[in-house]
Amino acid sequence: MYKNKFIKILVLLLFVVTSTVHSQESSEEHKPEEKSIKVEIKEYINHHLLDSYDFSLFSYTNDAGEHVYIGAPLPVILWDGGLKIFSSSKFHHGETVAEVDGNYYKVFHNKIYKTDAEGTITLDDHHHPTNAKPLDFSFTKNITVIFLVGLLMLFMFSRMAKSYQKNNLMPTGIGRLLEPLVLYIRDDIAIPNIGEKKYKKYMSYLLTVFFFVWIINLLGLTPLGVNVTNNIAVTLSLALITYFLTTFTANGNYWKHIFWMPGVPWPMKIILAPIELLGTIIKPFSLMIRLYANITAGHIVLMSIIGLMFIFKNWIGSPLSFGLAFALSLLELLVAALQAYIFTMLSALYFGMAVEEHDDH
């Protein structure tokens, strides 16, 4: 009964907010302003999801009409007839052209192109740049965070290992926080899916991928604007590692059940073998898409709800949007851990299928 009342009240509030917004949009004096706000929100969301050559916390416009950015630049490393190393501050967040050793470079759609002093970008019929693009080895925001998370994990686990050595296998400090998680991955993920005899050789990877994905996702909820798993190359790399480990550590029974299934008539074996082989590729592909899509969708929904506060502009809409954004942020904390758990669980499941000893009697 109380649940139905709550739903009715929520629907009524949403109806009031929607009616208010509709009346504001129909007003002539607010129409151009509302349109500009919506465009700015959409551009901000698209910018937030992309990688960049610097860390930007926020920006504002000063009295002179100039955009002032608060953040930190990163090193740009290019190979263009020689090594070119300079700070990304020369791009001024993509607004200016960088001159290095007589060459001019410009950031266009998050990529660096060679151009002239005016920053001319020539487009073809499909609106793709035709300018020369140097080899880019720059430390972008995502790459920097990946290295930092790697160093952080190395520090945490090395300290944990030293605490075990000094205290007769009793963890101290950060080891007390990590030990329950390590034991959970071992006892509830690795051993049940891989088996007690062969789980140890996969434990290092399972621990690494779990903490890497979890910490990366948590950093994505901070004002740093980090969204590493939004890059399909990152999730593809993680999925490929799982695929190669599964493929190159699989035993004969695994390949036997793919190419020549026992107990199946031989005409069906010929038909099922390509399907089973395709399944070995689809499994890591599903890992890649699942990790990529979930985190990206969460960021888009969260920032869209926050943007509603600037669109509603009334005493009901803004608090309601803030409440929804706060609730979704809590949900994102759960999703960050859940995605790490699912990726680790499925990887362990694939490893277990690869090393399982079958009884065909």
User: Which of 237, 226, 233, 232 has the alpha carbon at shortest distance from 299?
Assistant: 226
**What DSSP element (H or E) covers 107?**
strand 103-108
What's the pLDDT at 188? 93
Q: What is the mean pLDDT of the chain?
A: 78
Q: Are 255 and 246 in contact (CB under 8 A)?
A: no
232-249 and 266-312 helices, crossing angle to 10°: 160
Q: Grade residue 59 by pLDDT with cuts at 50, 70 and 90.
A: low
Whether residue 110 has pLDDT greater than 90 = no
Category of 67 on φ-ψ map: left (φ > 0), alpha (ψ -120 to 50) or beta:
beta
Give me 114's structure tokens. 């060679």
Q: Do the beta carbons of residue 175 and residue 159 sit within 8 Å? A: yes
* Single pTM value for the model: 0.78
pLDDT higher than 50, residue 12: no
Of 55-59, 182-186, 243-247, 281-285, the poorest mean pLDDT is in 55-59
* pLDDT reading at 207 higher than 90: yes
CA distance 335 to 258: 34
Neighbours of 325 (CB within 10 A): 18
- Rg of the chain's alpha carbons, rounded to an integer? 26
What confidence category does residue 194 fall into, taking pLDDT thresholds of 50, 70 and 90? very high
The more confident residue out of 68 and 138 is 138
